[in-house]
A and B are shown apart, each in its own frame.
Chain A
Amino acid sequence: MVGRRIRHILKSKEMILVLISIVIIIIFRLVNPNFLSVGSLSGIMQAMSLTGIIAVGIGTLLIGGSIDLSASSVCLFGGVLCALLIRANVPWGLAMVITLIAGFVIGVINAFLITKVKMMPFIATIAVSNVLSGINLAVTNAQNVPIPVESFWWGGKLVFGIFPVPFIIMTLLMIVYAFILNKTQFGRNVYLVGGNMTAARLAGVNPKKIHTILYINSSVLAAFAGIVLASRMQSAAPQSQSDSQLNALTAAILGGIAFTGGAGGMAGCFIGVMLFSFFNSGLNSLALDAYWSLIASGCLLIIALTVDYFNELSREKNLKVKKPASAAKKEGA
């Protein structure tokens, strides 16, 4: 029994990802002995937490069978809004609450467009994303907004001298969401709606309600990620060089969350984020051109999905081999 359980874990998607991560870490470590020194580790954790927080929202939405392409813009918008409020002498706690409420409202708009106006999630969220990016640039004149309030800079602090605060936040969020997804009615409904919306509806689940909550959740988390980023940078940028939602999507899918919905989980998501970040910072430590890191991260996604495909294929074959035996049993009975 225990043996079977261990074999099950060894064969799981998460395990494959952990193995890939270890191989990658070893390779980078061999090439560059400074990779993963204690100092750089904090930096990697710091960098991954933004991707991670957004991935929690996008990941749960993906499991629920939909997609949100406005997360990056909401994140930047959240940072800018929070920074502007603080500069206008709003206490930073209150500024954060207002920003989160703004995220909530954006989520409601996304959900309204998709569940009521029946727009395609792709189109609706891209449209919202464009509007927000425009507002960001207009309000800031495309300039960074520095935040001169030192007490707000908690995002750059370390816990136990190594763990950055954002990393702690991301880890806690993932634990909480893993719990929600696995143990609660809502979490179960997310999987059911993502797995088969029609069947879920005909069995008494309200898919619109689930999707509405998930969109709001995704936007609130993205706005929160924006706050965390602003706090760490001590300023808010209206536009960013790297696309955080694409990173989050890549990490979530790397972590085994199905693009088609209904499968995956927070554990995989966490490992996906780790894998993605280690890989990226490993590449950076080689001091290659940025183009190469883009090419390599694309390849990483392709490799991970290919491995996953063959893994699934072998499972399917096992299914077939078993069948004649069960057919024979039926005839015997």
Chain B
Amino acid sequence: MSKYLEFSGISKAFPGVQALDNISFRAESGRVLALLGENGAGKSTLLKILSGDISPDSGSIIINGKTQVFTSPHQAIQAGVSVIYQERQIVPALSVIENIFCGDLPKTRFGMIDKRTLRRKTEEILKVFGLPIDPDEPVGRLPVAYQQMVEVMKAYRRNSDIICFDEPTAPLTDSEINVLFDIINQLKKEGKIIIYVSHRLAEIFKVTDDIVVLKDGKLVKTFKTSETNQQELIRAMVGRDVGDTYKNLKRNDKIGDVLLEVKDLCTDVLDHVSFTLRRGEVLGLAGLVGAGRTEVARAIFGADRITSGEIIFDGKKVHFKEPKDAIKAGIALCPEDRKDQGLVLFRSIRENTTMPILKKISKWIFINRQEERKVTEEAVTKFTIRTPSINKLVRELSGGNQQKVILGRWTNSLIQTKLLILDEPTKGIDVGTKAEIYQMVCDFARAGLSVIFISSELPEVINVADRIIVMHNGKITGSVLREDATEENVLSLAMLE
């Protein structure tokens, strides 16, 4: 009997979102199944359910005919499920051997770690994978791709039948990706069930056999990889023609003089970054994860230490020591991670909106509640934040509405924002709200604000921004105007070696 993994009617809701809605499909052994979908489609949630990280509200997981209920990651591992996450689960200071056998070290008769068996087994695994890795090397010192391989080896060592990859290629270079694909093909030959989560279409055609497309928590369609093409998949993922969203944007056509000039900016991560930004311009920052886009934003905003270089803002040479100073000068940042860096989740919409303008709505040391309510209500109306009350905790809002609270914080009548930096503003937000946010970005520009728009989603950054700067490894590798930008030319700049 061939092995299989079946999801049967899985549903899961989080405050404000139906993350998964009655998902059912089947993955067969010896085949690679792709989970495809935009950010927020529910791929990660599904993986988390499979790995026992969270439990579904309803539905079940069936492995080889047996219904499984995982209440902890440990149980999932016992049942033969290994998930290799984007954020690697390795212990950097420990050796390759120790990481591979982490949690299951063989013992000698005396209860000591059996180093000899350990080494022999590790070398066997390394041979299977055919990788030139020193088993005693601390994993933290290996290249990223090999760190990931160590995780795959860990899954292999556990004899897992089901191996899942969550966006495995995001941090990898081209040659490293090929190493990964060889390994995946080998695991496939051994009859493993492989689930491959990615939104990079080219890869999916290279390595997978079946494709399941998710959108807004629903299963749209399943495909055989050999019987479909990119257009069909994109249509399934997006559910409508994306081109129109961008074509219909009302953009700013009056770009003014230079507002920001960055010259040879260096930090721990950045390497001589220089660019200019005009009033009313939307500047896109593209690049792979870790290219240094966020660090540019943080350096300008005074959140990270600058080692050398200069920033001229609004005609003055500036050096912000703290975000507070940058805010005073008229710079605003919507950080990458809404929940960890953008919002105080357990406080109200009101309190989250007025954070930078407390002084302006206070008399002496006392906050004027009426004033505060007025500003917040203005933001709620302006950005159509769906909430019954401005006193609702931000935690209880959906991702899109949370993002709007941050936008409301920086663009109300009491704050003089001249430069708005948006770092991944549409991450984890549903497609409809994304389109709203694109139009807001253009509206900000029309109102004379300069916007730096950072995004990992290429189509969005090349279609919303007026000009796109591409980064790689802390350096700027190119600058393209929207008219000339294609996914191909931006991506090739982003992956420049």
Contacts and interface: CB of A to CB of B under 8 A. Distances in A.
| Physical interaction between A and B | yes
Interface residues of chain A: helix, strand, loop or mixed (majority): helix
Contact of A189 (B327, B343, B358, B409): B358
Most chain-A CB neighbours within 10 Å: which of B335, B346, B386?
B346
Contacts, number: 88
Given A191-B351, A201-B303, A186 B343 contact: no
A17 interface: no
Interface in B333-356: 333, 335, 340-347, 351, 355-356
Contacts of B323: 201-204
Nearest to B303: A202
B10 to A, nearest CB: 16
B15 A206 contact: no
A202 B344 contact: no
A196 to B, nearest CB: 4
Nearest to B341: A198
Nearest to A327: B18
Nearest to B57: A320
A191 B355 CA distance: 11
A192 B365 contact: no
Given A184-B367, A185-B358, A196 B344 contact: yes
Given A186-B365, A319-B396, A324 B347 contact: no
B427 to A, nearest CB: 16
A200 interface: yes
A217 to B, nearest CB: 15
Given A196-B344, A196-B345, A202-B333, A188 B358 contact: yes
A183 B333 CA distance: 27
A204 B340 contact: no
A192 B15 contact: no
Interface in A171-204: 183-186, 188-189, 191-192, 195-196, 198-204
B106 interface: no
A237 B359 CA distance: 45
Contacts of B366: 183-185
A323 B344 contact: no
A192 B347 contact: yes
Given A191-B351, A202-B301, A185 B18 contact: no
B176 interface: no
Nearest to A319: B15
Contacts of A256: none
A169 B313 CA distance: 52
Contact of B367 (A183, A192, A195, A203): A183
A203 B351 CA distance: 11
A185 B333 CA distance: 22
B341 A202 contact: yes
A263 interface: yes
A12 to B, nearest CB: 14
SS class of chain B's interface: helix, strand, loop or mixed?
Answer: mixed
A327 B16 CA distance: 8
Nearest to B357: A204
Contacts of B345: 195-196
A195 B335 contact: no
A63 to B, nearest CB: 11
Given A185-B358, A327-B18, A203 B409 contact: yes
Contacts of B351: 188, 191-192
A75 B95 CA distance: 49
Contacts of A204: 323-324, 327-328, 355-356
Interface in B345-382: 345-347, 351, 355-356, 358-359, 362, 365-367
Nearest to A179: B366
A301 interface: no
29 contacts: A183-B367, A185-B358, A185-B365, A188-B358, A191-B344, A191-B347, A192-B347, A192-B355, A195-B345, A195-B346, A195-B347, A196-B344, A198-B341, A199-B335, A199-B343, A201-B303, A201-B322, A201-B323, A202-B301, A202-B323, A202-B333, A202-B341, A203-B355, A203-B356, A204-B355, A205-B324, A262-B344, A262-B347, A327-B18
Given A192-B347, A199-B343, A203-B355, 20 more contacts: A184-B365, A185-B358, A186-B365, A188-B351, A188-B358, A192-B351, A192-B355, A196-B344, A200-B355, A201-B303, A202-B301, A202-B323, A203-B409, A204-B323, A205-B324, A320-B13, A323-B13, A323-B15, A323-B18, A326-B16
